[in-house]
Amino acid sequence: MIATNLNYTNPDLLKAKWFSHADVSKFVAYLIATLNHDRSLSALLNPYNRVKGLLNRYAEEQAKNGLRFV
């Protein structure tokens, strides 16, 4: 189970092995700053470029280790 830091989480739940706590404050800060500057939210909401960048970085790391990412 994953919960964000945008709501209350019981301290006992935080100790459970099957529980993960996600910090989304950075994303909310980007959202607020973007709205404050009257810019479009589409770049924040579309994960394509972010995922593509992560895949490229992973492929580069694998290439350094002599592996090929297909």
Say yes or no: 1 and 30 in one domain: yes
pTM: 0.56
Question: What value does the mean pLDDT take over residues 21-46?
Answer: 90
Q: For 22-48, b where at least 16 C-beta lie within 10 A, e where not — what string?
A: eeeeeeeeeeeeeeeeeeeeeeeeeee
Element (H, E) at 49: helix 48-64
Q: How far apart are the C-alpha atoms of 21 and 58, rounded to whole Å?
A: 24
The predicted-structure confidence for 36-55, as pLDDT tens digits, reads as follows 999 998 888 888 998 999 99
- Count of domains forming the chain: 2
Looking at the chain, the number of H-run helices and the number of E-run strands are 4, 2
Take residue 25 and report the two structure tokens written for it.
């404050």
- Strands (E) across 1-70 are located at 2-4, 20-22
Say yes or no: 33 and 11 in one domain: yes
Say yes or no: 4 and 35 in one domain: yes
Range of the domain at 64: 46-70
Say yes or no: 53 and 35 in one domain: no
Say yes or no: 16 and 50 in one domain: no
